[in-house]
């Protein structure tokens, strides 16, 4: 009998950007998934870390919790532990992020805050586009932990303000909502409107919406 080969049409949003392969994780991603670094399965002892940050909601998706220890004299991160309720990409991305933070004697705080999701993805050897939002979890949890540290250490001037700016006043949709839509796979106005209905009743907002979409697509997908 002849074997019949079916041709499967694969969309670009399930492609690994670095390798061009479809839903094929790099060996680095697999290693960090099966052997996650700096994972903390039990809550730490009181006072063991200087700060904690948590983002996400287990009821509707991924959640990330991160603990950070700081060398206050040198403003350097000496330890970072994490725990996540999420997919393999979220585990691998956070594991890699934790290694990047702790390399050498540990990163200076300001240097660590400059790490972008693209930097994590590059170190992983790429991720499928639909999974890029997983690398953002680590970044957001870390920023929240750092804000916790800045407050507790009396450095309010260093607190990172992430409040959203309202773009569509009728629906009260912010730039952060548009960013999340892009991270979830939207690439153009039509895609974003399917998720948010943004600009449908506020036509004057459309030029700014399109500008934001281009900005976030470039930011996360290069």
Query: Catalytic pick from 51, 63, 93, 134?
Result: 134
Backbone angles phi, psi at 128, to 5 degrees: -60, 140
Q: Which helix (H) or strand (E) holds 101?
A: helix 88-102
Handedness of CA 75, 92, 196, 53 (dihedral sign): negative
Handedness of CA 133, 107, 101, 147 (dihedral sign): negative
> In sequence order, what are the residues at sequence separation of 6 or more whose Cβ sits closer than 8 angstroms to the Cβ of residue 97?
115, 120, 135, 138, 139, 142
Query: Catalytic pick from 1, 59, 60, 190?
Result: 60
Question: How would you classify the pairing of strands 63-71 and 51-56?
Answer: antiparallel
Cα angle 109-114-117, degrees, rounded to a multiple of 5: 125
222 with 118: CB under 8 angstroms? yes
Q: How far apart are CA 72 and CA 50, in angstroms?
A: 10
87 is catalytic: no
Catalytic residues: 60, 134
């Amino acid at each position: 009998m002849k074997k019949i080969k079916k041709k499967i049409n694969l969309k670009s949003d399930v492609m690994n950007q670095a390798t061009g392969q479809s839903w094929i994780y790099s060996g680095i991603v697999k290693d960090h998934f099966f052997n996650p670094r700096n994972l903390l399965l039990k809550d730490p002892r009181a006072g063991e870390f200087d700060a904690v940050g948590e983002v996400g909601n287990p009821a509707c998706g991924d959640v990330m919790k991160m603990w950070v220890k700081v060398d206050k004299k040198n403003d350097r991160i000496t330890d970072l532990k994490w725990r996540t309720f999420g997919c393999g990409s979220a585990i691998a991305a956070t594991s890699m992020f934790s290694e990047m933070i702790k390399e050498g004697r540990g990163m200076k705080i300001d240097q660590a805050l400059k790490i972008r999701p693209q930097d994590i993805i590059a170190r992983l050897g790429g991720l499928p586009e639909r999974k890029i939002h997983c690398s953002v979890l680590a970044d957001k949890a870390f920023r929240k932990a750092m804000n916790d540290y800045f407050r507790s250490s009396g450095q309010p001037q260093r607190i990172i303000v992430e409040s959203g700016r309202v773009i569509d006043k009728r629906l009260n949709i912010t730039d952060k909502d548009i960013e999340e839509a892009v991270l979830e796979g939207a690439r153009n106005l039509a895609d974003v409107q399917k998720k948010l209905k943004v600009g449908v009743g506020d036509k004057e907002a459309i030029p700014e919406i399109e500008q934001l979409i281009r900005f976030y697509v470039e930011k996360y997908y290069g």
